[in-house]
Structure 1
Amino acid sequence: MWKAFLQVCFLLSTVKELNGENKSQSAVQNNGFEGKVVNSPTTPESSSKFLGRLLVIAVDGSHWVDLKAVAQEMGRRGHRVTVVMPEVSLRLGPGKHYTTLTYPVPYGQAEVDALFGGIAETMTKSFMEKMSHIRHMMSFIHTNAESLLLNTSLISHLSQQDFDALLTSPILPTGALIARKLGLPTINLARGVPCGLDMKAAACPSPPSYVPRFFSRFTDKMNFKERVINTLISLMEPLMCRMMHWQFDHLAVEFLGEDISSAEVMKDAAIWLMRTDFTLDHPRPLMPNMVLVGGMNCDLRNPLPEDLQPWVSGADGFVVFTLGSMVSSVPEDIAAIFLDAFRQIPQKVIWRYTGPVPDNVPENVKMMKWVPQNDLLAHPGVRAFITHGGSHGLYEGVCHAVPMMMLPITGEQPDNAQRMASRGVGVVLDIKTVTVEQLLQGLSDVINSTRYKENIMKLSALHKDRPMNPSELSVYWTEYVMRHKGADHLRPAAHHLNWFQYHSLDVITVLSVVAVVVLMVTVSCMRRCLSSTSSLFRKRKRD
């Protein structure tokens, strides 16, 4: 709890410095649209008579996985899909069924790789060093947003394309700001926003009594102490949102020409495609315009490469080890611990690892710069999945019913891992302090204990038992918003109420005043009656 508070205070102090730095950059960011347009052919295969135009504002990292999946499927069905992305990125790129529109940015590929590659290095760094890395990340994100929003030629070009809707991730407000500028309804696709801004923007109730907050690592069944901590975190959420969007608030005023915050702009969203479901998250209230689409990649399967066939065969099976898209290697001392543990197990291990390959790699370990994670997890020979606890990997593990060993690193991963562990489908270890003995014990438990396999099979059956898969559901609601130019009838009237009205404090105040007045009048009348009766009794007694 105290660490979260220190992070908030530290980052609020650095945001002011970053805002000053980026103001000087904004003068040179307004450099006109000098990007590239890459046209990709599409084949109309939509069963719907409506074919529209969709604008996608790409967000890098793991957020791109599902955004790309929806963009590809929309384009495959015959819609004109335009994806806007920076010329330099970590994972963004062209696709077969959409047009790519890029814009220039004042940084190179080496800077991007160094920034995101530094996430693994922060595992063993001090608190202040971690905060310094976050500061650089925030500066990078804001610079990227300025490059897009202040590119007047690009924004003008987009305004002339007659789009029907905009699809983006709300983890950054860039897409929401462009949607408001162009007058487009927004479809937000995300796992969630750390400060709970998604729920606030959707006017969705989130009682801290049973809705665990980000970074709390609690389940929905909390004791008194945990409810106190959860409530305190919920009270700190507005401060965290301010920390995350301070710079964007200034950018929103400059870009839109109106006095409005980026958080207010995000309330305009027509549909929220929530990349989760209740096999991962705990039951909680949802609004009519919030749709659960967790696990999009479950049904996407491809044959395994030939060079992997010897590694997935054998009576003892194999283990898949990946730490997500942004952490593909670990410090050498931690890697040595994993290798020592893997040397002592009978299973083969397929490890996504891009760092320097150690000299003493065991014969049962294959290190690869990229692994077909979903296809490996779908193989019947897989025995365990070692993961960082990202939502994409967890859903693939649940989909294919693979017991998990979870090593959360950052973000929502500790919360995800704790929720999976509470369902009895895996174990959680601390990657910074893990030992060979803990790894061997954890692997032995998830591989040899039948309860983990039984629990994950039950959870997998629940996850896959649905009338429409998440990919089709996402496309349906995206087309719905495009056809109807929004979904205002699903937005609650809570958006038009201030906090005093939302909590009915005005009604409670009036009713309290009325109750007090009625009580005072009643007491006064009773006193008068008693006084009159007493006087009459004394008079009769004297007579």
Structure 2
Amino acid sequence: MAPVLRLYLAVPGLLFLAFFRLTEGGKLLVVPQDGSHWLSMRPLVEELQRRGHEIVLVVPESNIMIETSHTYTVKTYHVPYTKEFLESKVRSMGHAVFSEKSILEKVVALYQRISNMTEMILSTCRHFLDNKELIQSLKESQFDALLIDPVFPCGQIVAEYLSIPSVFFMRAIPCSFNHEAAQCPSPASYVPRLFTTYTDRMVFFQRAKNMLMSFFDGLLCRAIYAPYGALASQFLQREVTALELFSGASLLLLRYDFLFEFPRPVMPNMVFIGGINCAKQMPLSQVGNI
């Protein structure tokens, strides 16, 4: 009877040892985008740190909104521009977004804005990847996963190099590349394309126009993101396309609510997290009479 009793008493200890590893915090590498993209991602990063995970951010030394914090470690790398230059870029883009234009003019203007921004971000990415000391430090840190905003997929190149799973935290990219990369159907018959202002219920002419926009949508994506495929091929020493970079995501956290979106197919690794940026309501200082 005594051996049975000893075994019974040992079970809690064995269970503790078996599941102890599951309670440890992980090491998360974060490669965010500056501006409002970071404002959306920051609450998630801070909550992950609060739950015991080790967070390391890698950002350019010149940025607008990403600051040091006691909740996470920030590593920087040199870039050939200043904070003032970035702020002027953002202001000019803001003025262009709210101007009244036709669909074709909007597409052309978007392509020009993104091309200009892509050139600067691509230069930033090169400086990141060329920083051998930083890259080696990241490799030695043995991160468990990487969190990125994939609107510019430099972080995914690093994820491929470090051989770690990546999590996309995103609202959308300027075209349907993310759905194509995830092999997610996107029927033009009821999934409206960017700039069309259509709903999921279209007449034949609208569907035909939506199909035509799908063609231009694909061209736009490939023109914008092709340089990242070339940069990834050079850095990883193997042939890589931009589409392959986007297809590398293990999980896609989509910052919108399906209740406010038109019906469309989604994949199992697409998780809707709409409302994650909503702040908790503060109590009123006093209650007035009605």
TM-score (norm 1): 0.45
Q: Does 1:185 align with 2:188?
A: no
Of 187, 203, 219, which residue of structure 1 is paired with 2:183? 203
Query: Aligned partner of 2:146: which letter?
Result: L
Tell me which moved more, 86-95 or 179-188.
86-95
Structure of larger gyration radius: 1
Q: Which residue of 1 aligns with 2:74?
A: 100
Which of 84, 96, 104 is the matching residue for 1:110? Answer: 84
Matched, 1:55 2:35: no
Partner residue of 1:348? none
Give the deviation of 1:161 after TM superposition: 0.3
How many angstroms apart in 2 are the aligned matches of 1:142 and 1:135? Answer: 10
The answer for the alignment partner of 1:168 in structure 2 is 148
Task: Return the offset for 1:283.
Answer: 1.7
1:236 and 1:247 mapped to 2: Cα distance?
Answer: 18
Match of 1:266 in 2: 246
| Residues 213-264 of structure 1 deviation map (CA, whole Å, 9 limit, x = unaligned) | 1222111111111111111111223211111112212211111111111221
| 1:71 to 1:227, Cα distance in 2 relative to 1, 3 A | same
Runs of 4+ aligned structure 1 residues displaced above 6 Å come to 128-131
- Report whether the alignment pairs 1:233 with 2:209: no
Deviation at 1:314, TM superposition (A): 11
Question: Cα 1:299–1:114, aligned 2, differ >3 Å: closer, same or farther?
Answer: closer
User: Is 2:115–2:224's contact at 8 Å kept on the other side of the alignment?
Assistant: no
Find the counterpart in structure 2 of residue 141 from structure 1.
121
Structure 1 match to 2:52: 78
Q: Aligned residues, how many? A: 262
Counterpart Cα distance in 1 of 2:48 and 2:109: 42
1-structure distance, mates of 2:273, 2:238 = 34
Q: 1:113-512 to 2 correspondence within 5 Å?
A: 113-122=87-96, 123=98, 133-302=113-282
**How far apart in 1 are the matches of 2:137 and 2:182?**
30
**Quick check: 2:176–2:217 contact (8 Å CA) kept in 1?**
yes
- Provide the identity percentage: 36
Q: 1: CA distance between counterparts of 2:110 and 2:198?
A: 24
Give the TM-score taking structure 2 as reference length: 0.83
Note the residue ranges of structure 2 that are not aligned, 5 or more in a row. 1-21
Tell me: higher relative CO, structure 1 or 2? Use CA pairs within 8 A at least 6 residues apart: 2
Report how far residue 172 of structure 1 moved: 1.2
Which residue is 2:4 aligned to? none
- The 3 A distance-change label for structure 1 pair 54 and 134 is closer
Aligned to 2:41: 67
Change (3 A) 1:130 1:212: closer
Q: Which stretches in structure 1 are left out of the alignment for 5+ residues?
A: 1-47, 316-543
Cα distance in structure 2, aligned partners of 1:98 and 1:129: 37
Alpha-carbon distance, 1:133 to partner? 4.7
Tell me which residue corresponds to 2:17. none
- RMSD across aligned C-alpha pairs, in angstroms? 2.5
Distance 1:227 1:166 in 2: 38
Partner Cα separation in structure 2 for residue 174 and residue 289 of structure 1: 21
Aligned-residue offset at 1:175: 1.2
